[in-house]
Chain A
Amino acid sequence: MKVGLFIPCYIDQFYPQVGIATLQLLRKLGCEVEYPQGQTCCGQPMANSGYEHLTHQCNSLFIEHFAGYDYIVGPSGSCVLHIREHLHDAEQEPAAAGIRSRIYELTEFLTDVLKVTSLPARFPCKVGLHQSCHGQRGLGLAQMSELVAAPFSKPLQLLQMVDGVELVELDRKDECCGFGGTFCVTEEAVSVKMGKDRVADHVKHGATVITGTDVSCLMHLEGILRRGHQPVKVMHIAEILNQTTDEQANS
């Protein structure tokens, strides 16, 4: 099984540790992983701003880099959703369609394709899970609180496999953090207020680490936490799932 690692542009530039953790975790679980050099962006920043017509080149690049892989996996629900819903190329539509059906967000790849049932990880912390909207409502990573339907959560399922993790309950378990792409700057006041309210919910319930499947949301929450000099840490879920146990660390 050959996996093409999709590292979205802002993770590449600002959160390389998330890319490294994702790569190591996938290898630990037995995947053959490659990072195709030259990949840039899924095109979402333009598309969500109403400029989908400016994403042709991003689409062609994406197809060029990822068409040859059995699976494409990325540590970002939002970017993966964008590819799954909007990757098109008039000149290579069959290749685009193939990628749309073979691209996975990291946690759903672990639970649905690799069918992971245990993880050799230990992380003794009080953790709050931020359910990012595009992953949750778009990709179906977790049940939505709006629906009258049985609850489930793929990220939660994985976190529960990690030794020592104590998950905190939130008052609003799937409210948006307010990042929203360019919304975070064009609607700065509402965006920040939404982020502050999310942070407060985690802090109120004693989380020392906020985690999630989308670095974009976490970057926004981290910006608010750091401005408020709050000691709560922000980590992508790959960084937690990739933690080593004491035995591994000692060996």
Chain B
Amino acid sequence: MNRQTADHATLADKFNENEPRVNWHDETLWWVRAKRDKQAWSIPEWEQLREAASQIKLNVLGNLHGYLLQFEQQARQNGAIIHWAADAAEHNEIVTAILKQHGVKRMVKSKSMLTEECHLNPHLQANGIEVIDTDLGERIVQLADEPPSHIVLPCIHKKKEEIGELFHEHLGTPAGNADPQLLTAAARAHLRKEFLASRAAITGVNFAVAETGEMVVCTNEGNADMGAHLADVHIACMGIEKIIPQRKHLGVFLRLLARSATGQPITTYSSHFRTPVPGKELHIVLVDNGRSRQLGREDFRNSLKCIRCGACMNTCPVYRRSGGHSYHTAVAGPIGAILAPNLDMKDYADLPFASTLCGSCSNVCPVKIDIHQQLYKWRQVLVKEGHTTAGKTAGMKMMSAVLSKPGTFKRAGKMGRWVMRAFPGMVNNRLNPWYKQRDMPAPPKQSFAEWYAANEEKK
């Protein structure tokens, strides 16, 4: 997986070269948003649930240290083996060491955005270990040698015909056949072989309960269960923010998660993992990778409440029209745009600007993260830290200078409008991005201030 170097605007521009495809992408995700709305409205206390979830997570973030130690102690008592990873590299080393210790050369992995964030797959491959992603969407993008474009719907950017071609090439399905049922059956048969042969399985974690030391993994396909139950070694990888204090809090989060994510009342499987079967191993890798740093940033702390439902992506009018890959990071969309700069300000300085600050994300969020406010705040931080261009800074200084002096503003406005009327080509040209697909407003002879002076102040 290559790290992309182009910024969001450039990648979005490319995505928009095919307008019918943009329409399709937009409508597909809007349909998911509409399904979510329907499910949310089926619960009269929806807004109270969101508030409860937000408060529980606030408590977790305020007491994370204690809850993590409690979780560790409980999980150890349950027989799990606990590992702590400070960053992505350490996480990848830990997982590789466990697999090497058991002589594993090929293994299955269910959905885990954390392992995407840590770039685990290429690391394992480099160490001679083949990883088979077992979530259908993830398997599809894996076969296509692409990263997921959405945290819940990894291959939402692919049309079924493209998946048909991919399966024909890799799984031997009939050429030109894009029947979803046939393709799913082929994937099932293919994955079943992998499940049966795999001695180790990696899963993600949706919720880790401090009180009991158990983890809950939510899937629709049962692939996490199939992998973990059949393998001798189960490795569960989780970010340290996945903690919830008590089991009863699942009653809040499980009701919110699937409704927000896909508009289902609940995921098909919400599986609890606590104690390894005798003779088998359960490893839990707790990963920081910048989360402590984000916890220390007061303005951005709340981003760690995220339960990875993807609702902010489905509702985001920019995401729907630029595609997940335009965010060039594991977690795309509005939430990705406030998480990524914490990982690397320089690489992801463009992302907080890939938004109109419309605020739909904050209001759809099941844990009430103030996403659009954080986008605004990241912009201030990034500029202050120097992650901007000299040209932009010069332009902003000039704008500020004009707007700071009433006389200058008045003269510049008058002059500007005159130029637009007398020499429209000065403005209506290729160098003006506004003009590329939009007409400029017609410049009036008189500004409002001039009209007021002439008509009101002379009275």
Indicate if the CB atoms of B397 and A54 lie closer than 8 Å.
yes
Q: Which of A118-126, A158-166, A188-196 contacts B (4 or more CB under 8 A)?
A: A188-196
Indicate if the CB atoms of B357 and A20 lie closer than 8 Å.
no
Q: Which residue of A lies closest to B451 (CB)?
A: A16
Counted as pairs of residues, one from A and one from B, with CB atoms less than 8 Å apart, the total is 212
User: CB of B296 within 8 A of chain A?
Assistant: no
> Interface of chain A, helix or strand or loop or mixed?
helix
User: CB of A53 within 8 A of chain B?
Assistant: yes
A161 vs B382: C-alpha distance when bound (angstroms): 46
> Interface of chain B, helix or strand or loop or mixed?
helix
A186 vs B357: C-alpha distance when bound (angstroms): 14
Contact bitstring B103-125, A, C-beta under 8 A = 1, else 0:
00000000000000000000000
Contacts of A20 in B (CB 8 A): 448, 451
A43 vs B384: C-alpha distance when bound (angstroms): 17
Q: Which of A90-98, A107-115, A223-231, A243-251 contacts B (4 or more CB under 8 A)?
A: A223-231
- The smallest C-beta distance from B43 to any residue of chain A, in angstroms, reads 7
Q: Which residue of A lies closest to B356 (CB)?
A: A180
Contact bitstring B19-43, A, C-beta under 8 A = 1, else 0:
1001000100010000001001101
Q: Which of B146-154, B227-235, B316-324 contacts A (4 or more CB under 8 A)?
A: B316-324
Contacts of B40 in A (CB 8 A): 148
Contact among A35, A147, A148, A188 with B449 in the assembled complex (CB-CB below 8 Å) = A35
Contact among A14, A46, A53 with B399 in the assembled complex (CB-CB below 8 Å) = A46
Contacts of A181 in B (CB 8 A): 356-357
Complex interface residues of chain A between 147 and 161 (CB less than 8 A to chain B): 147-149
Q: State the interface size on chain A (CB cutoff 8 A).
A: 73
Indicate if the CB atoms of A227 and B317 lie closer than 8 Å.
no
User: CB of B13 within 8 A of chain A?
Assistant: yes
Residues of chain B touching chain A, judged by Cβ–Cβ distance below 8 Å, are 8-9, 12-13, 15-16, 19, 22, 26, 30, 37, 40-41, 43-44, 46-47, 315, 317-318, 321-322, 353-360, 362-364, 376, 379-380, 382-384, 388, 392-393, 396-397, 399-400, 403-406, 409, 413, 416-417, 433-434, 436-444, 446-453, 456-457
11 CB < 8 A contacts A-B: A40-B404, A61-B406, A137-B358, A137-B363, A145-B37, A178-B356, A187-B318, A188-B436, A188-B437, A190-B16, A219-B441
Residues of chain A touching chain B, judged by Cβ–Cβ distance below 8 Å, are 7, 9, 11-20, 23, 35, 37-41, 43, 45-55, 57-58, 61, 133-134, 137-138, 144-149, 172, 174-176, 178-181, 183-195, 197, 219-220, 222-224, 226-227
